[in-house]
Amino acid sequence: MNGAATQALGFQRGYRWARANLFNSWFNALLTVAIVLACVRIALPALDWAVVRASLNAPNIAACHERGGACWAFIVDWYRFLLFGRFPYEEQWRPGVVIVIFLALLLATCDRRLMGRPLAALWIIGLAAVGVLMWGGVFGLPYVETDLWNGLPLTLILAVGSIAFSFPLALLLALGRRSSMPAVRGLCVLYIEVVRGLPFIVVLFMGVQMLPLFLPPNVFISKLWRAEVVFILFIAAYVAEVVRGGLQAIPRGQFEAADALGLGYWRQMRLVVLPQALAISIPPLVGTFIGAFKDTALVTIVGFFDLLQDASTGMNDPTWRGAYVEAYAFVALIYFVFCYFMSRYSRYIETRLGKGRR
């Protein structure tokens, strides 16, 4: 086939596609035209601002304003503070490596071949490395206090730590809620419903302002670990409900068969029920994790230097004052990449589970 004919065929195909997908009724045709017009009016100026007239290299915000576009020079100048906050400047390779470790761990968790013991081993090694890198004080690394663990590593530590450590508590709560013992069931229901009835920010305020009152006078827990404890206790109630959903989906026959095999309660759960229940719970669990990841942004309200706080510090710097859209865009992009990747992964698991069932 010669070039012109291929091109003609392409046009024909494009025309047919447009007929079927853009202009299949007068209403849709109207919508299409309206959207295209709106794009021209909104998207083009936005593109002009963000790309064409943007400055990657400028001494200050005034120079950016002169070109009339986005001031990405601010991000270029400030990216280390935005990512790592007040972590000592020459030591910032450490949180950098920590981010890479977390990414590697998250990717490894998505790999089915590593499921089970190897994955657990990887996580233990990885978290130990994170601890060493962040704290320092050994192997010639200077000690860094937890107040200076800022930015993206803080977000990751809070999110990953909360989901990982809330899991055992959540399992017990979920099993307790379905227990035949009224006292156990009552306590679990009370905990889950109360925690889920409260806004996270209220619980976070409580943890930061009220928790010290409940501890003996000589015990002091740093703010980071107080927030982490609050995250764990809070997320556990949500994870418990997800696991309960998984438990409810297990057919009665499985319990009865396990009974018939003479397995006791804990062995029944460990060998028969939980492996099945947890497998179906993976997609909603990932959803909960995404929620926890986004909720970490709330620590900015109680005075943590997380990504958002770093961004506001940057946009209030005299040299770059007012570059708030650029700063928020940078932070939003980081959150978006993580959450989008995780939601894709959850959808992939969901389709795979669906295939296994049919």
Binding site for another protein (CB under 8 A): 21-22, 24, 28, 31-32, 35-36, 180-184, 187, 193-194, 196-202, 205-206, 209-210, 212-217, 290, 294-298, 300-301, 308, 312, 322, 324-325, 328, 331-332, 335-336, 339-340, 343
> Whose Cβ is closer to another protein: residue 22's or residue 148's?
22
Whole-number minimum distance, CB 33 to another protein, in Å? 10
Tokens 């004080």 belong to residue: 137
Q: How far is the CB of 65 from another protein (least distance, A)?
A: 13
Closest CA to 164 of 205, 214, 212, 130: 130
Q: How far is the CB of 319 from another protein (least distance, A)?
A: 17
Closer residue to another protein in complex, CB, 101/308: 308
Question: Which amino acid is residue 58, in one-letter code?
Answer: A
Contact 137, 143 (CB under 8 A): yes
Minimum Å gap between C-beta 180 and another protein is 8
Collapsing DSSP states into helix, strand and coil, what is residue 69?
coil
Retrieve residue 314's tokens: 């940057």
Residue (109 or 300) nearer to another protein, CB: 300
Helix spans in the chain (H): 3-21, 26-47, 61-67, 72-84, 93-110, 117-135, 151-177, 182-197, 200-205, 211-214, 223-248, 252-260, 265-267, 274-295, 307-315, 324-357
Q: What is the CA radius of gyration of the chain?
A: 26
Q: How far is the CB of 143 from another protein (least distance, A)?
A: 30
Taking the complex as a whole, how short is the minimal distance between the CB of residue 141 and another protein, in angstroms?
A: 32
Residue among 8 and 18 whose Cβ is closer to another protein: 18
Cα dihedral across residues 74, 79, 80, 86: positive or negative? positive
60 versus 343: smaller Cβ distance to another protein: 343
Alpha-carbon distance 282 to 346, whole Å? 7
First to last CA, the chain: 44
Q: Which is nearer to another protein, 4 or 181 (CB)?
A: 181
Nearer to another protein, 183 or 260 (CB): 183
CB of 144 to another protein, least distance (A): 26
Distance of CA 223 to the CA centre of its chain: 21
Residue 289 CB, nearest approach to another protein (Å) = 13
Tokens 């990216």, residue located: 79
Give 243 or 331: the residue with its C-beta nearer to another protein: 331
d(CA 254, CA 260): 10
